[in-house]
Structure 1
Amino acid sequence: MKKFKVLLAVSLLAIGCLTALIASINEKKEEQKIINSVPQVERWQTKNEEFKKFYPRQYDSWKKTKESDDIDDMLKEYPELVVLWAGYGFAKDYNAPRGHFYAIEDNRNTLRTGAPVDGKTGPMPTACWTCKSPDVPRIMNEQGDLEYFTGKWAKYGSDIINPIGCVDCHNPKTMELQVNRKYLDDGLKAAGLTPLADATHQEMRTMVCAQCHVEYYFKKTDNGKGGKAAVVTLPWAEGTTVDDMERYYDNIDFKDWTHKISKTPMLKTQHPGYEMYLTGAHGKNNVSCADCHMPYKREGGVKYTDHNIGNPLENMENTCMTCHRVSEKSLLATIAEKKKRKTELHKKSMVQIAAAHLEAGKAWEVGATEAEMAPVLKDIRHAQWRWDYAVASHPAFFHAPEETLRVLGTALEKAGNARIKLAKILAKYGAADYVAPSIDSKEKAQEIIGLPFDKLVEDKKKFKNGLLIEWKKEAEKKGVYNPESTKGVEDKTSYN
């Protein structure tokens, strides 16, 4: 009898466990069915939290980009940067990129966007919002590209409010991957590459990233209303390598700014991650950006894409190790070695270019002519373009280590050539003993270039305590902003 009771109890327990397992499987199947279906979300719904009810795992993983919130002041770490960018916004403020969650916060907080007092003031054009928010393609769709690209950055302060998210990469009516910024397709066609209409799903897992992680410039374009639009344009008509784009810019005589000290017509590289990726092993083998930065995850019976876009080395089991047949330790050691080599050349190039700018400034001061300085300025322009190209495409040492070292090597060579020519010019005008001042701190460098840093900070704080608060209130009234979405976000900057 006792044995029967034990068997009965065990049987009931087994039945209970089996029932629970079946229920769990059915629940997961139902959840996967919901994920695979396409809920009807408004086409231009840009509030990312609205997608949580349909895609909770994707949303929760995206929100983890909030954890990448450290402020790394690059000007403090590399004060030569201030001299390299004299006369340009990056000399005011430049931090290492944070998580996508902070795209809007960082754009509003940076000293580069200035301290506008209304929708028509400030140093930057509307194009500076372009890669920061899904509200941008919404406005492009509503108003047209030329209208969007016309005017000052402050024009859309109460309209561009939600950080990089769902609608940047998806059509919410189908949830298919979709590039919502037209200039990428224009660039692909100009370069003779596969247009978006013919791209495979695997290629689209890179293209949605390439709409922002590329080199671009603001092309002055007639807006049809008697004004000029600063249109984001990819300089790929000559090709997508650093040499191709350098030639393109030289052929159209383009400059981002004139250097305050050396008077060089400068190029500011943006972030050519895609172009560098094309030259490396991953790009050549069609390993997509998402394969490494947004790997698939599985929870129970549910498979989904991890939207915590970040460093693949922090999740190697699901990224690197799905392809590489070596130990994590060995792979990390190889990567560290590649980074060390890049950093060595990066620092050497930066020091040489900064010295060239200062020596060129002295040459002008002692009477050098434009004819004498022309070849010098060309070397400086090309040296800094190449140095910046290798550095601004942030993980280039990982994506394309050989190309990164080649580009930095040519940057160092051209900077050296500039300094040799400058030595001869300085000697001719009796300034052979000139020694460029040391650049040992961010503050010292900003003093050398005459940057009124304290005034910039003071003005920025007035903007944040005034117009910025009005923007948020207006955005909430328009229904494009939910204050709860940024509740508790620290207002971190490098100048507080």
Structure 2
Amino acid sequence: MSRAQKFLAVFLAITVLFFGFIVFRVWGAKPPATVKLTPIPQGEYDPAVWGKYYGLEYQTWLKNKEMAPSPTGYGGSVKEQKSVKQTALPHNFKGYPFEKDYTEDRGHPYSLEDLRTSHRIGPTSKGSCITCKTPQIEQFYKEMGWGYTQRPLSELLDRSQHPVSCGNCHNPETMALRVINPAFIEGQARRGIDVTKASREEMRSYVCGQCHAEYYFVPGTFQVVFPWDKGLTPSAMYEYYSANPNNFTQDWQHADSKAPMLKAQHPDFEEWQNGTHGKAGVSCADCHMPYMRQQGRKYTSHWVTSPLKHLNEACSTCHNEGPEWLFERVKTIQDNVWQLQHLAEQKVSRAHTAIKKASETANVNQTELANARELVRKAQWYWDYVAAANSMGFHNSVQELNTLGQAIDFANLAIEAANRAAGTNTL
């Protein structure tokens, strides 16, 4: 072997040893791609206990304690009265607790605290109000069935130590996604859907939809029911309510117009289901709880927040237009929806006032007055369906702009009917 060949052989040996050492150090220090499954005992609802084994998920869940405005200025997690921006809101809910206390929603860690301090509850409030505030609803339902809804809310609050957290959405032994809200399970069953047979991707929306949805309480029993029997659109649900299901006729009677009113309850799941992303099979978690990576480990963020706060992970996996374009697109949609929502809110308020004025007129036409009350009930339902949701129309902008347009139309028709009832043509 020549000197040159010996030198080359030594050089190659050193090179192999050097790069072999580097590969060993890199791969030896690399964490596993996914976290090891560690079963949690059944009935353990403390998120800190889960966090001992699922640290990245727990640390991101803790970020839900942060309170900040939405990037676009709509919604957010700052606990302020919605009436600051929606000035006609107290009048539209006159005679109902939402008139005095209707704040922006904070993150899941505040679910119990905000319920305890809400001015909308009192000594007579029933246990049904606890349904979406704690994973311990699983325990209450196992003990009492639907009987828990008739127990005093104060009693169940005293027994509830943990807010919405890991146990609401995960089987503690397998970490598989699950639904524990019996109202969601029953509502889906009436639609022909068995949630126990749902795919994992479907469950990535069902775990959210079990609480972020419209519902009502059955008179007498206070059982929680999702009004989905005729469909998930605002018109389908209004048709359902018009048939007085389970003898439910109204949430309250408006103090001025005396119309039998409905209160929408954050129909985010319904919006999404009929929207572009829902129809395309994009789950709630894909956008609000996207996959993240830290030190080579892939995990699901449990910071349930606006996708605009993590555009690359939440949006850019499907969209390549760039963050500036994406933000502007969302902002434009929400600006347009807000304009119509604000107009609808004002029109509904004017309709309540017109009906009150008509009802105080001598020899009022009772048929037209009843017609006006039905129209304002419908107008407010359509407006509130959008206003009570959290996306400011983004989940389904086409439907929501149409819904608000109908709300404005129904409010105008209510004013006209009230004027006819009073014998005046003044709008």
TM-score w.r.t. length of structure 1:
0.77
Which whole-Å CA distance do the structure 1 matches of 2:210 and 2:23 have between them?
Answer: 49
Partner of 1:156: 156
CA 201–353 in structure 1, closer or farther in 2 if over 3 Å, else same: same
Structure 2: where are the runs of 5+ without partners?
Answer: 1-10, 68-76
- Tell me what 1:232 maps to: 224
1:330 Cα shift?
Answer: 1.5
1:82 to 80, 90, 115: 90
CA contact (8 A) 2:130 2:137 kept: yes
Deviation at 1:11, TM superposition (A): 11
Q: Kindly indicate whether residue 278 of structure 2 is the aligned counterpart of residue 270 of structure 1.
A: no
Distance, in Å, in 2 between the alignment partners of 1:146 and 1:206 is: 24
**Is 1:111 equivalent to 2:119 in the alignment?**
yes
Shift of 1:78: 1.6
Displacement of 1:175 = 0.7
The 3-state SS of whatever aligns with 2:132 is coil
> Does the C-alpha gap of structure 1 residues 361 and 176 become closer, same or farther in structure 2, counting only changes over 3 Å?
same
Which is worse superposed, 233-242 or 328-337? 328-337
Q: Which residue of 2 aligns with 1:248?
A: 240
Match of 1:23 in 2: 28
Give the stretch that moved more between structures: 247-256 or 301-310.
247-256
Alignment check: 8 A CA contact 2:133 2:164 kept = yes
**2:141 aligns to what?**
140
Q: CA shift at 1:186, angstroms?
A: 1.4
Distance 2:282 2:392 in 1: 15
Residue type matched to 1:275 in 2?
E
The Cα shift of 1:294 comes to 0.5
| Deviations 1:452-485, CA, capped at 9 Å, x for gaps | xxxxxxxxxxxxxxxxxxxxxxxxxxxxxxxxxx
Letter in 2 for 1:74: K
**1:189 aligned partner, one-letter code:** A
CA–CA separation in structure 2 for the residues paired with 1:161 and 1:264: 39
Q: Is the 8 A contact 1:93 1:111 kept in 2?
A: yes
Separation in 2 of the partners of 1:331 and 1:23?
40
Question: Which of the residues 97, 101, 108 maps onto 2:105?
Answer: 97
1:402-413 equivalences under 5 Å are 402-413=398-409
* CA 18–348 in structure 1, closer or farther in 2 if over 3 Å, else same: same
1:122-157 deviations in Å (ceiling 9; x for gaps) = 3x221111111112222212x233221113321212
Could you tell me how far 1:10 is from its partner in structure 2?
Answer: 11
The 5-angstrom pairing of residues 204-243 of structure 1 reads 204-220=203-219, 228-243=220-235
Query: Does the residue aligned with 1:400 lie in a helix, a strand or coil?
Result: helix
Q: Contact 1:291–1:319 at 8 Å: present in 2 too? A: yes
Query: Secondary structure of 1:286's match?
Result: coil
Q: Is the 8 A contact 1:151 1:229 kept in 2?
A: no
| CA displacement at 1:21 relative to structure 2 | 2.4
The RMSD of aligned alpha carbons is 2.2
Q: Per-residue deviation at 1:389?
A: 0.4
- Structure 1 residue identity aligned to 2:368: E
Would the aligned equivalents of 1:379 and 1:414 in 2 still touch at CA under 8 Å? yes
Is contact 1:276–1:396 with CA below 8 Å preserved after alignment?
Answer: no
Q: Which amino acid aligns with 2:233?
A: T
Runs of 4 or more above 4 Å deviation: 9-19
Give the equivalent residue in structure 1 for 2:334: 339
Q: Contact conserved, 2:343 with 2:408, CA < 8 A, in 1?
A: yes
Identity score, percent:
32
From 409, 413, 419, give the equivalent of 1:417: 413
Look up the SS of the partner of 1:297 in the other structure: strand
Q: Give the whole-Å Cα distance in 1 for the aligned partners of 2:269 and 2:319.
A: 22
2:58 alignment counterpart:
59
1:320-347 CA-partner distances (Å, limit 9, x unpaired) = 1110121211122222111111011101
Q: C-alpha separation between the residues in 1 aligned to 2:232 and 2:111?
A: 26
For 1:416 and 1:324, the matched residues in 2 are separated by 40
1:313-328 → structure 2 map (5 Å cutoff): 313-328=308-323
CA distance in 2, matches of 1:63, 1:91: 32
Q: Do 1:215 and 1:270's aligned partners in 2 also have CA atoms closer than 8 Å?
A: yes
Q: Distance in 2 between matches of 1:21 and 1:364?
A: 80
Which stretch has the larger CA shift, 338-347 or 247-256? 247-256
SS in 1 for 2:223: strand
1:84 and 1:145 map into 2 onto residues whose CA distance is 35
- CA distance in 1 between counterparts of 2:40 and 2:127 reads 28
Q: Is the 8 A contact 1:349 1:411 kept in 2?
A: yes
| Map of 1:451 onto structure 2 | none
Tell me what 1:181 maps to: 181
User: Equivalent residues in 2 for 1:250-399 (5 A)?
Assistant: 250-252=242-244, 254-367=249-362, 368=364, 370-399=366-395
The alignment's TM-score, normalised by the length of structure 2, stands at: 0.89
Report the Cα distance in structure 2 between the residues aligned to 1:15 and 1:151, rounded to whole angstroms: 67
Cα deviation digits, residues 281-331 of structure 1 (max 9, x gap): 100011000000111111122111000010001100001111012121112
Q: Which residue matches 1:224? A: none
Structure 2 contact 250–262 (Cα < 8 Å) conserved:
yes
Count residues in correspondence.
Answer: 403
By how many angstroms is 1:46 displaced? 1.1
